[in-house]
Structure 1
Amino acid sequence: MAVLSISNAHLAFGHVALLDGANFSLEIGERVGLIGRNGTGKSSLLKILAGLEKLDDGLLQLQQGLTSVYVPQEPELRADATIFEVVSEGVAEAKALRARYEIHDENDDLAWVQERIEHIGAWNWEQRVDETLQRLGLDGSRLVGALSGGLKKRVALGRALVAQPDVLLLDEPTNHLDLDAITWLEELLNNFKGSLLLITHDRAFLDNVANRIVELDRGQLRGYPGNFAAFTAAKEYELQNEALFNARFDKLLAQEEVWIRKGVEARRTRSVARIQRLEAMRLAHAARRDVQGKVKLDIDTGGASGKIVAELENVFKSYGDRTIVRDFTATILRGDKVGLVGPNGAGKTTLLKLILGELAPDSGEVRQGSRLSVAYFDQMRDTLNLDATLADTISPGSEWIEIGSQKKHVKSYLGDFLFSPARANSPVKSLSGGERNRLLLARLFARPANVLVLDEPTNDLDIETLELLEELLAEYDGTVFLVSHDRRFLDNVVTSTIVSEGDGRWREYEGGVQDWLLQSKRAAALQAKQAPAPAPAPAPAPAVAAAPAAPKRKLSYKEQRELDELPARIEALETEQAQVAALLAGTELYTQGAARLAEVTARAGQIEDELMGLLERWEALGAR
């Protein structure tokens, strides 16, 4: 049963139809991921469903008595209020009713007030707020104005959840959250009893939370059962069919156009019905909204840097009595793609500045490589002049831009990033959040650099642009430092991951986030297994000098060959793992019988064991 729906919905922004006769319904208990390109109208649709905006035409239907809560990308919170006070806004009706009951006058209808208090559970609203704060790990006495972006997002979610709504509408809920907080949010939403509609471009988050994907594409809303992995397979098949149909249609239209332009003899015998069909085909072709072009990303790497980008040895850095980096040693080589992972406030930016020589360590040694040319992607978009035009942002004072040996007109270059020529002279402030990020990428890639520093580049970018950015960075010859909480993006780009392990300690792991999680989980299990049983304390003995560490043995030819082949074997297993996960998350497998289900489930376990073994072998050989 649908809790809300829209029918034949129309919404336009200027001459662009965001909704063009679209239909959608949200069922009881569904968790729907709403996806689509930047600027297609996803946030506008969410606001319409929340009652904050109206359709130009069409019907919006809500279940009687429905309660819904909308959490925008950037929630507005009272900076001078405590967390408890802001979260309590979610139970505003309960607070007001109980206060009215406690200080009523003789004209009040206490019977109705008491009945309403019982119905919405208003007697114990403080307990509901306290329980919600405890679940979210929030200190109710802290002032909101002093919180980080991630904690403010938690407060906004707390305000929504304490209301116990039937429907939760979330716009980019993972923005500003670190990996631990995203994992926590996944669990929270999977346990949510109501219906959920969320906008996000975090593919791993969609895979773990959504049970249906709805895509807003060229004014239409199309639903796909299952998570994002299942959607990807279905969408690819659908686009192939659409391209085939359009090609056949265009060929027939071309044949009819040739026929209609033939000589006098043909015109005398032509069919009225055939002419009418041609006119209908022309109208259909004119009305067709083709798939929007892809972003074309290219980058000027400038001159190559030296082989070593940075060497750090026993580096310490503190602020006051807090140690941000403790005894960190690492070597970064040209071409490395390094991910930095840690909770908000762990010191990722500080560590990056140490690596790049922008900050001196308190102790230890940092050596930078030669011929480094660094370009930065700014997470908070502070460097964008909102009043400047798109063209001036990319190429101030010139209509041309040079990328390597290639010279391009700035409008053509902006077109590579899906900005139409007509928008080249529009101000930056007219862009959506995702479009501003795309503009920042355009500006970043226009500058020659052999080291890229990307701080949360994935926020607000649509999934297709994310995938193209992944391809570009994977092929980029220079060095990349990537700060992100997007697990899938990190896994697809980085060659190693530097992880905060608390108390200022950082450790580098081979591979991406999943590799780190597997390696750390396996290491913890081995450590627990090998830990000796507690024994009585031995009598004091004279100190003995530790035996010198055994020298590292060089890899044999066979071992080196094995090490070279391991990445391909790991990648093949990971691909199969993703396919098996998509099968288990979809619905088709469960119609194929118990034997097939058992076979696929068993294979999933085998893949995990095989992958763990290969990763351990890779780490062991790589350490030598």
Structure 2
Amino acid sequence: MSLLRAQRLSFSYSDASTILADVDLCLTPGWYGIVGPNGAGKTTLLRLFAGELTPEAGSLRLEPRGATVAVCPQAVEHADAAIHALADAEDGAARRLRGELLLDPAELGRWATLSPGERKRWQIGAALAAAPDLLLLDEPTNHIDADARALLAGALAGFQGIGACVSHDRELLDALTTGTIRVERAAARLYPGGYSAAKALWEAEARGREEAHQRLRAEERQLRRRLGDERRAQASADADRSTKRRMKGPRDSDARGLLADFRVSSAEARLSRNVSVTRRKLEKVSAEAGELELEKAVGRSVFVGYERSPAPWLFVLDAPRIHAGGEREGRPLLRDVRLSVGREDRIRIAGPNGAGKTTLVNALLAGARVPADKVLHVPQELGEAEQQALLARARRLPPEERGRVMSLVAALGVEPGPLLGSARPSPGEARKLMIALGLGQHAWALVLDEPTNHLDLPSIERLERALADYPGALLLVTHDRAFGRSCTSILWTVAEGEVRVSSDDAGA
């Protein structure tokens, strides 16, 4: 049986603080999700597992000796030798894999035109065909549609070795994994179960720590009050003894004086002991409270500014034909499209890659019946120049408005100070900043095209809560069904040149 064991494993890059410290893990055959905030060390842990990085301290061992490893990075640029081998193989296992993943060897002749989902199926199929002892995946469902996700999940479920998968796809993690490695604050801890079950466990632990912290702080306050009372009593006893000594007359007998001194000394000793005991208890309780690691408050809630549109309909589209890229000639991408978006409609747009989802969104925006500054449109990708412009815009805001926007940025899980001081935001930071800037406009409608791209799971869940609370019109293009269903009630399915409208409680 294969075994991957990490003992006291630590790693840091030369120009950064410690990424992982004293990690202990033992993985046996089965699938494990690797989750955590961006920058926490998920991909670093995956690269350590792959042998691409060397631990700074501790050990990492894959058994048995000579065990094989296959790695599937996010991007699939070229058809490598393993992919060609799968295409050429005629044995039963290869044929079965090609059938399961709907892989046609003729596709390799037009590799440059294959979609991300088609390339990803070839990449993972080739890795499975090699039957490695350890299979490592980095965001396997990024940018791929629901059909491709279902094919990949089915094929991966049959893998017999140790599998580790960095992903923000909750549906995949819950369906595939039986263990979850949470990477955060230089730690990596294994929880039983898929993502949802594991999350329930660490949230319960966090609540327990918070409750224990509150109890300890309450006890600490009580002990401080007691210590103050005891010190005042001690000071009062000292003052009383001094007064009695000054007032002692010549007729006071030595015996009575000695007895009084003994009683006072005993009381003072008792008070002194009480002070010492209480002080030690206070020091112990304060230390215990300080040692409890509490969840950071950043990102707990998002207040979404909203202003109700005076117009009942924000977007109306009546188009016999819609061409890709706004063209007016050639074969239309969509036909007979008659759609409208009310001021409180919440719509998810789903469908295969290339079906025309983004084209539909652009057509709706072109026919908007509301001012452009009342619509927040976040496109699927932001170029480097757009990211720089967003940061410059945030820096130029008046202090009060900047504070409001930065509070939204913080609620989405980004520290405002480092962001404003950075040379260039990451793709995920830029996306959150754009959303925060738009929400500051009190938008009548949010139009978001794959808003979870480049976001980690905690950020996705924060955005999910914010959109669920937003009362205005929401138009959401996403392959993430769990995310979409939590925020919308209407489903537009784009497929085969048509747009079908239904309730968002099933399917796509």
The interval holding the TM-score normalised by the smaller chain is: 0.7 to 0.9
What is residue 224 of structure 1 aligned with on the other side? Answer: 191
Amino acid at match of 2:207: Q
Percent identity reads: 27
Instruction: Please give the alpha-carbon distance, in whole angstroms, between the structure 1 residues aligned to 2:276 and 2:11.
Output: 37
Kindly indicate whether residue 369 of structure 2 is the aligned counterpart of residue 374 of structure 1. no
- CA–CA separation in structure 2 for the residues paired with 1:50 and 1:90: 22
For residues 464-511 of structure 1, what are the alpha-carbon distances to aligned partners after superposition, in whole Å with 9 as ceiling and x for unaligned?
Answer: 332332232233232111110111111111121111232x12211122
Question: Cα distance, 1:216 vs. partner?
Answer: 2.5
Of 462, 469, 473, which aligns to 2:467? 473
Partners of 1:5 and 1:60 within 8 A in 2: yes
What does the per-residue CA deviation read over 1:429-485, in whole Å, with 9 as the maximum and x for residues that have no partner? 464x54444334333333442121111112343333323322322332321111101
Q: Which one-letter code corresponds to 2:475 in the other structure?
A: F
Residue equivalent to 2:484: 490
Aligned to 1:87: 83
Alignment of 1:445-524 (within 5 A): 445-502=439-496, 504-512=497-505, 514=506, 516=507
- Over 3 Å counting, the alpha-carbon distance change for 1:37 and 1:259 in structure 2 is farther
Q: Is the 8 A contact 2:308 2:343 kept in 1?
A: no
Alignment partner of 2:381: what SS? coil
Give the alignment of 1:139-218 within 5 angstroms. 139-218=106-185
* 1:266-307 per-position Cα deviation (integer Å, ceiling 9, x unaligned): 894368787666556555544543202242423333561510
What does 1:342-491 correspond to in 2, within 5 Å? 342-357=351-366, 368-371=368-371, 373-382=374-383, 385=386, 388=388, 392-393=391-392, 395-398=394-397, 400=399, 402=401, 408=403, 412-427=407-422, 429=424, 431=426, 434-491=428-485
Which residue identity lines up with residue 396 of structure 2 in the other structure? Answer: G
Between stretches 241-250 and 219-228, larger displacement belongs to: 219-228
Match of 2:345 in 1: 336
Match of 1:566 in 2: none
Deviation string, structure 1 residues 371-414 (Cα, Å, up to 9, x no partner)? 5632211222226556x498x35514235253xxxx72665554
1:317 matched to 2:322? The reply is yes
Q: Distance in 2 between matches of 1:89 and 1:283?
A: 61
The residue matched to 1:141 in structure 2 has which SS? helix
Contact 1:20 1:220 in 2 (8 A): yes
Mapped partners of 2:416, 2:477: distance in 1: 32
Shift of 1:194: 1.8
Q: CA deviation at 1:238?
A: 2.6
Distance 2:28 2:385 in 1: 41
For 2:194, give the aligned amino acid.
N
Residues 84 and 50 of structure 1: CA distance in aligned 2, closer, same or farther (over 3 Å): closer
CA 421–438 in structure 1, closer or farther in 2 if over 3 Å, else same = closer
Deviations 1:71-99 (A, max 9, x none): 22334x34xxxx475724899xxxxxxxx
What is the letter of the counterpart of residue 298 of structure 1? F
CA separation of 1:223/1:427 partners in 2, compared to 1, >3 Å: closer, same or farther?
same
Query: In 2, are the aligned partners of 1:87 and 1:129 still within 8 Å (CA)?
Result: no
The Cα RMSD (Å) is 3.4
Q: Using the TM superposition, give the Cα deviation of residue 185 of structure 1 relative to its aligned residue in structure 2, in angstroms.
A: 1.0
2:403 is paired with a residue of what secondary structure? strand
- 1:10-159 aligned at under 5 Å gives the runs 10-12=10-12, 17-28=18-29, 30-63=30-63, 64-75=65-76, 77-78=77-78, 83=79, 85=81, 87-88=83-84, 135-136=100-101, 137-138=103-104, 139-159=106-126
CA contact (8 A) 1:33 1:198 kept: yes
**Matched AA of 1:332:** V
Task: Specify whether residues 437 and 73 from structure 1 end up closer, same or farther in structure 2 by C-alpha distance, changes over 3 A only.
Answer: farther
Q: Distance in 2 between matches of 1:283 and 1:237?
A: 23
- What letter corresponds to residue 498 of structure 2 in structure 1? R
1:467–1:338 CA distance, 2 compared to 1 (3 A): same
Q: Does 1:297 align with 2:309?
A: no
Letter in 1 for 2:466: L
Structure with larger Rg: 2
- Aligned residue for 2:261? none
Shift of residue 330, structure 1, vs aligned partner: 2.5
Find the residue that maps to 1:170 and give its secondary structure.
strand
2:313 to 308, 312, 327: 308
Task: Measure the CA separation in 2 of the matches of 1:380 and 1:215.
Answer: 28
Distance 1:291 1:88 in 2: 48
> 1:275–1:41: structure 2 CA closer, same or farther, 3 Å change rule?
farther
TM-score, normalised relative to structure 2: 0.79
Q: Residues 39 and 490 (structure 1 numbering): CA distance in 2 closer, same or farther, change over 3 Å?
A: same
Q: 1:411 to 1:151 in 2, by over 3 A?
A: same
Post-superposition CA distance 1:179-220 (Å, at most 9, x none): 100111110111222221112222222221112223224443
What is the alpha-carbon distance in structure 2 between the residues aligned to residue 305 and residue 51 of structure 1? 60
Q: 1:348 to 1:309 in 2, by over 3 A?
A: same
Q: Distance in 2 between matches of 1:15 and 1:290?
A: 24
**Residue 7 of structure 1 aligns to a residue in which SS?**
strand
C-alpha distance in 2, partners of 1:496/1:287?
Answer: 48
Instruction: Report SS of the residue matched to 1:47.
Output: helix
SS of residue matched to 1:249: helix
Q: How far has the Cα of 1:178 moved from its partner?
A: 0.2
Where do 5+ consecutive residues of structure 2 fail to align?
A: 236-270
CA change 1:401–1:126 in 2 (3 A) is farther
Number of aligned positions between the proteins: 460
After TM superposition, give the deviation of residue 235 of structure 1 in Å.
Answer: 3.6
Alpha-carbon contact 1:389-1:428 (below 8 Å) kept: no
- Provide the rounded CA distance (Å) in 1 between the counterparts of 2:220 and 2:66: 52
Give the AA of the match of 1:308: W
Contact map agreement 1:389 1:424 (CA 8 A) in 2: no
Compute the displacement of 1:255 (Å): 4.4
Q: Contact conserved, 2:8 with 2:59, CA < 8 A, in 1?
A: yes
